Amino acid sequence: MVAVVAVALIFAGFGSLALIRIQSRRDTVRDLRRQAQGIVELVDDAPATRAGAPALAVRQRVLQRVLRLEGQQIVRFTTSGQAIDNPPAGVSAADLRFDHLSQGQTVSGVNGTLAYAAAPGTTARRVPFAVVLTRHVRTGGGAALWLLVASGAALLVAAAVAANLGRRLTRPVRDAEEAARKIAAGDLAARVPEPADDDELTALIRSINSMAAGLERSRGLERQFLLSVSHDLRTPLTSIRGYAEALTEHKAKPGRAAAVILSESRRLERLVGDLLELAKLDARRFSLDLRPTDVADVVAGTAEGFRPAAGDAGLVLKVDVSGDGIATATADPDRLAQVVANLVENALKFAGRRITVGAGPGEGHVLVWVEDDGPGIAPEDLPHVFDRFYTVARTPARQVGSGLGLAIVHELVEAMGGSVDAEPGAGGGARMVVRLRAA
């Protein structure tokens, strides 16, 4: 800012001084020309000023008075252009251009800071002469001094304003830099104070704070998830180890122990498989075979596969895909079956007496839903049930699946160009609704 002000002052100051000097030269030369011409006219009119006085004497006295004036001089010259008298100091014979003066033209110019003007005339004896007037041009030296003083004051003010603005503008940047350094070091609770102004810098600060909040929340969810997964891994491992030790010590029936070990091994296999599936989904390293798919057929076939599990849990499984107008959707049949299976498994955890699985047309979509009559989902949890690492506060009535099914559902549905939402059920409980693109 100081540099900009300095450059502007230099250009404005020197430009103004140059213009003032040019205009002063013009005004001075113009005044000298007018005065020189007026003196010549006065000399020419001298015989008429005094009645009865000889014209020669009158002209002589007028010229003598002119000669006594400061900055004025009479220079006589011959008709051939030779000077009889010496020109005034600072003006040469070449500057006077006697050839122009002989033709009755007024001559003027500027030598350095000295302006001059010469007007031609003739004496009483018909000797040509020129009245030469000189004057030093005012170059604006005083103005230059005041300009320097004003420029110095302006630069001081600009420096003060620049320092103040610099502190005000860079303080948020320094705060943002410090907060970013803390966040990079692992302090996700660090935040940047938001200024009152609503500008680009404020938007940047809000983005940094939002990023930090998201990272902090993700870390908390990740820790919660790791605790949950650790528990889910430890529980079947404890059972497997316990029954294996019992078999070794001949304290358990082989058939019973083998059944428990097989069940818990499958549970571990499912948990590890879901973790690998999430990793593949996150890296987008999975394939999709999108084509027009009979949603009713996929939903009905997948849901019927869970009827024995529902019966063992004392639940009623209702499949509602018999209505008219169920359209086909653009989906991968295998991935859609995986989505339905994960949703049904989630419902099996929390359902009290019944689970309803259905499909039907929507506004430009094909809907698939799974509803249970369990304890439901708190309103603050509804937007987050499909987030990774998120665990709701409700306690499952039974352990089914790995607990990662809803996150996998969200990734698969979005990959197929659809969406999934959690809603309160019509009679309590929870309702998961998948919207697929109609084929």
**By the 8 A CB rule, do 221 and 390 touch?**
yes
**Is there a contact between 330 and 292 (Cβ–Cβ < 8 Å)?**
yes
Please tell me the distance from the alpha carbon of residue 319 to that of residue 228, in angstroms, as a whole number: 32
Cα separation, 97 vs 101, in Å, equals 7
- pTM exceeds cut of 0.75: no
Write down the pLDDT at residue 48. 46
* Paired tokens of 65: 């008075």
Which domains does the chain possess? 2-139 (3.30.450), 291-437 (3.30.565.10)
Query: Among 51, 41, 53, 102, which residue's Cα sits nearest to residue 75?
Result: 102
Question: For position 49, what pLDDT does the model report?
Answer: 45
| pLDDT for the residue numbered 181 | 85
What is the structure's pLDDT at 257? 85
How far apart CA 101 and CA 122 sit, in angstroms, is 11
In sequence order, what E strands does 247-301 have? 291-293
Q: Which residue has the tokens 């001559």?
A: 107
Average pLDDT over residues 286-291: 80
- For residue 419, is pLDDT > 80? yes
- Structure tokens of 427? 């009679």
435: pLDDT confidence band, cut at 50, 70 and 90? very high
- DSSP 3-state assignment of 415? helix
Query: 100-130 pLDDT, tens per residue?
Result: 888 888 889 888 888 899 888 877 677 788 8
Q: Are 257 and 243 in contact (CB under 8 A)?
A: yes
Pairing of strands 354-361, 419-424: unpaired
Cβ 87 vs Cβ 95: under 8 Å: yes
Select from 34, 199, 30, 29 the least CA-distant residue to 116: 29
**pLDDT 10s digits, 127-162:** 788 888 888 887 655 666 666 777 777 778 877 887
- Tell me whether residue 243 is exposed, middle or buried, using C-beta atoms within 10 angstroms of its C-beta: 0 to 12, 13 to 18, 19 or more: buried
Q: Write the pLDDT tens digit of every residue in 192-228.
A: 887 777 677 788 888 888 888 888 877 776 776 666 6
pLDDT interval class at 281 (50, 70, 90): low
Q: 403 near 394, Cβ under 8 Å? A: no
Contact 119, 129 (CB under 8 A): no
User: Facing residues of 36 across strands?
Assistant: none
